[in-house]
Structure 1
């Protein structure tokens, strides 16, 4: 089921969710939470960058998505020669950047007697510059694509594009000019912005070259997404999602250590939660902070609790933990709503009334994954409660956890296959095994057997992208399969590096480079937050990944 269909379903059911409680659960707290979020809003650092050289984007079947950038001349002639004659140029800034683009035009000879018109096309990857955007057939708004038509009324002039952009390559095309005068581009530059202010230490000397490359690309990805919130992608969607927040904050804790940004995001999400107490999966900052209507994602609401627990563990900030504890505690009402007497979740009802995400993967059945994540959430919430000395407020959790574990083994586990099955069709998927392993339904030895059986299950539904792949690496580590974890990380994220990634992509299937949940690959995000977590693994577990 695609994203648009999910949104329509969620909008239909949102009214029933928001009417559970007529009174605002957090009425006395929202203003304070919003003020705290604003207090921790970072100042962005600004750096001026200029293009390194011009390139030609050439068709090449061996390159990612069939296109590669080939360096041509230096830029010396660009700033001195006629652009009326050149007509078009593609510039390479040498790295992914997020911020604001500017260029200057100046007279070469004769008096300017007419305006100039340019088309600018920005791309995170070469194919984005080379692929025609129209006729547009994607599911998301055409306006996300980064092309601009600019009219310059006066020459000489400096042109500043007000739209914030995320790109490495820009194609500048002249589409309107006068034959009676000539002009040049006298400067091209970019104001890059990020909230990152300090950089982590280098990896150990013994780390392999591919691990170092993966780590650097992961750091670049995270840096670009760390703006005034943890954005999911600086090109698209440019907003805060709980699932991305959790993964970005993990990577940040082992790299840039900008904990104030995590604190801001946790407060912002709490302040914009629905009046019934449930968290909304995504929120906007502009024109003023507000949630996106009807974005009730159950798995993201659960992961907020895990993110808060990890934040308190990383910082020791029990004040923030206690201040936001009511939000985490309230999300447990979701479990109480859907947990049946036999210890199983009422999956059919949950799937109708919430968006269950887990992965961009058509056909994925999510009952087993939801069951595992629910246990995982209760475990992490109870650990948070113990840290805050509030375990008496959730003293029922250990018993519920054990009840759900037993129900999972009884109803979902195929002992002959050593694998968990989901739904009436008994689907075998990576998502199901991952969340059952992470929730501790199986012992460590049993988890190893299950993950080994999974790797041999040819019909298993595989991860659809880096988001679920993160949890696969985490499950391998939890099961003690350290060599397999390193190999999986190197093969998957290293595959992107070998295909030219300087930031990691939202969607990556080694067997289908054109895969897009939105049915038009140029609108994919090629710098995406949930893909940055090799940084977390490589730096948290140096004994696994740096040896």
Structure 2
């Protein structure tokens, strides 16, 4: 009885409704539909100074009529509970059951259970719960059943129907409707309040996100709420990016929670008329995911950079991976692609990756690039295969592959006479926020991403058992790669030039194509060294001032063994933001700017996001290139651990996998490693012959050693780093 009292009424109801031995059911829908629906809900919450600010691109919707079915072979008759969002009918073996039943009995034997659901306001969804008859992703769904009825009334010909596996978000409570889904919240109190004019400014101590709660609100008049990521923004009633302006007439004190969530650290509350209030607090809104990855080292500043990166990433992990919490709160593909990579080294949350990819893509027909940005379409392709490599989820690749093909068909149809991509009406070529960055002509960066996307399509086609298309994509990629080096490689500059205009190379060399060429492994060893010296380490080449592209620049350098240099750069760049008081990392940081210049962007004094997902890239760099952990086959069946202290005295951390973590501790004399997954290879350099118990160490090159890591075994390697 003591444990029973701890159950909520909802839990008790479910326990009484369903036998405890029943298999677990979940809400299901047409794959991608709920992701698109929730993406629409979330992205259209954006406001700018109280005005609705919709997205720039086409928004698709869910299918309004969906047919669900599955066949069961029951040893005995089974009672089945039905929960449905929408108007529906139910059939057993094609025979309709009258009315809108909440419960049905399926006879023993082999039977087909079908539900057809209609809804325009919400996503058609079902939750089916019996002892063995349960709704899950093994059910089949279609949005058109292509049947016809002849003169005798016979229903025939579903041969043209395409059935796909249902989608879900692992929602296992039948009484919590998908359309009512919300992220959880928890109360947070402010750390400081300062009286300003007739009201006050409250400081919550660090960047945060959620709903303001007003306590003891009373009176008639106005209550003006101005939000700020900085104190300057909160105090700027004319220029702060977000605000709430309330008209009130309250006879007695009440508590009130704002309808829309906001990003802020500071909140400026100013009452007018007879309005008064006691205080404010907040409800912090968050995604309930666990932090599984970790990193700690001998460098206190680097540890702080890592922790702030983790917090920045936490704030931007919501129903989806979003760009930033203050301004856009949209699902930008370029931002999300970096979030996927950070995710694999921190929370390792597969569902958020999948639903972000579904929501970005939307439905056919394709009428524009993802987010209207050419490069963002390519990041979408890359994100799918990366997800497979880290998770091993081949089913997801197969489910989304038809939408990969239709997007690539759209892109292939926009090539110019030279077989290259360049700006066409409706395209946005982004690359990066950088002054005087030309987007004219045939930009080499876009061709590299296009080539990598074709290679990705070939890999995913094989996973989807489409060998014919895999051969076509492989051929396209090889031809384009050859063309890139023929048209863009400049021997005198020992680099890829930025673009071609009117069939001729421009004189401009930028970092973008060259650094991607390094970690795409497109260069010869000689070309890599030349690019490193002539581009990446060359101060005469325009510098990058966004964390977005610093991510790739530093990855390219790490891929070439420049961890000591990258460590200094991380401490200088991200450490520079910390020295300016950052509690989360920014959309853009230029060390040459001063004072309030750091807050401005887009021609607005507070337009810059001070909490942007792409600012959290040290999570990825430290996990993949310092701890040195990466899968070499899908889902860490095999993997490489290649630690690099990069100037640190010691470091330790964990990298998450499907079934546990890979734990690593490294000093200059000892490496400890233990893994819960797969078979790994530890590769390291040592000035002396290393030793270890329980394994064999082989010298694979002068001073370079390897050993095999077996699952569940802790190894302690003695060496001289």
Same fold flag (TM > 0.5): yes
Partner residue, 2:167: 36
Which structure's residues are more often helix, by fraction?
1
- Map of 1:18 onto structure 2: none
In structure 1, the residue matched to 2:528 is 447
Deviations 1:342-391 (A, max 9, x none): 6x5142xx344521111122432340111221122223333334455545
TM alignment of 1:467-478, pairs within 5 A? 467-478=548-559
| 1:118–1:173 CA contact under 8 A, matched in 2 | yes
**1:27/1:406 Cα in 2 relative to 1: closer, same or farther (>3 Å)?**
farther
Match of 2:200 among 89, 100, 104: 89
| Pair 1:34–1:162, CA change in 2 (3 A) | farther
Shift of 1:98: 1.2
Gaps of 5+ in 2: 1-55, 59-141, 146-160, 172-177, 628-642, 652-721
Give the alignment of 1:6-155 within 5 angstroms. Answer: 36=167, 44-54=183-193, 87-105=198-216, 115-131=220-236, 133-134=238-239, 145-154=241-250, 155=252
Q: Does 1:223 align with 2:319?
A: no
Q: Is the 8 A contact 1:33 1:268 kept in 2?
A: no
Corresponding residue of 1:535: 619
8 Å CA contact 1:266–1:308 kept in 2: the answer is yes
Match of 1:489 among 566, 570, 573: 570
From 369, 372, 384, give the equivalent of 2:445. Answer: 369
Which residue does 1:3 correspond to in 2?
A: none
Distance 2:318 2:437 in 1: 33
Q: Larger RCO: Structure 1 or Structure 2 (Cα < 8 Å, ≥ 6 residues apart)?
A: 1
Asked whether the 8 Å contact 1:102–1:158 carries over to 2, the reply is: yes
CA deviations over 1:249-297 (Å, ceiling 9, x no partner): 2111211122111111222233x2341376532xxxxxxxxxxxxxx22
1:518 aligns with 2:649: no
CA distance in 2, matches of 1:92, 1:32: 53
RMSD: 3.3
Q: Distance in 2 between matches of 1:34 and 1:491?
A: 49
Q: Which runs of 5+ in 1 are unaligned?
A: 1-9, 15-25, 56-82, 107-111, 135-143, 282-295
Three-state SS of the structure 1 residue aligned to 2:590 is coil
Which residue among 312, 326, 347 is the counterpart of 2:402?
326
1:345: which partner in 2? 420
Please report the TM-score for the alignment, with normalisation by the length of structure 2: 0.58
**CA displacement at 1:313 relative to structure 2:** 1.5
Partner residue of 1:412?
Answer: 488
Distance 1:412 1:127 in 2: 46
Q: Is the Cα contact below 8 Å between 1:194 and 1:224 reproduced in 2?
A: yes
Distance 1:39 1:268 in 2: 17
Shift of 1:476: 1.8
2:359 equivalent among 268, 280, 293? 268
The question of whether the paired residues in 2 share the 8 Å contact of 1:368 and 1:420 is answered with yes
**Contact 2:398 2:463 (C-alpha < 8 Å) held by counterparts:** no
The worse-fitting range, judged by mean Cα deviation, of 153-162 and 326-335 is 326-335
Contact 1:302 1:331 in 2 (8 A): no
Conserved? CA contact 2:601–2:607, under 8 Å = no
Structure in which a larger fraction of residues adopt strand: 2
Pick from 393, 411, 427 the counterpart of residue 354 of structure 1.
Answer: 427
Cα contact 2:169–2:351 (8 A) shared by 1: no
Whether the aligned pair in 2 keeps the contact of 1:120 and 1:173 (CA below 8 Å) is yes
- The whole-number CA distance in structure 1 between the counterparts of 2:570 and 2:455 is 26
- TM-score, structure 1 as length reference: 0.75
* Equivalent in the alignment of 1:287: none
Q: CA deviation at 1:322?
A: 0.6
The farther-off stretch of 192-201 and 388-397 is 388-397
Partner Cα separation in structure 1 for residue 462 and residue 580 of structure 2:
45
TM superposition shift of 1:102? 0.9
Deviation of the 1:210 alpha carbon: 1.9
Greater radius of gyration (CA): 2
1:230 alignment partner, SS class: coil
> Does structure 2 conserve the Cα–Cα contact (< 8 Å) formed by 1:376 and 1:438?
no
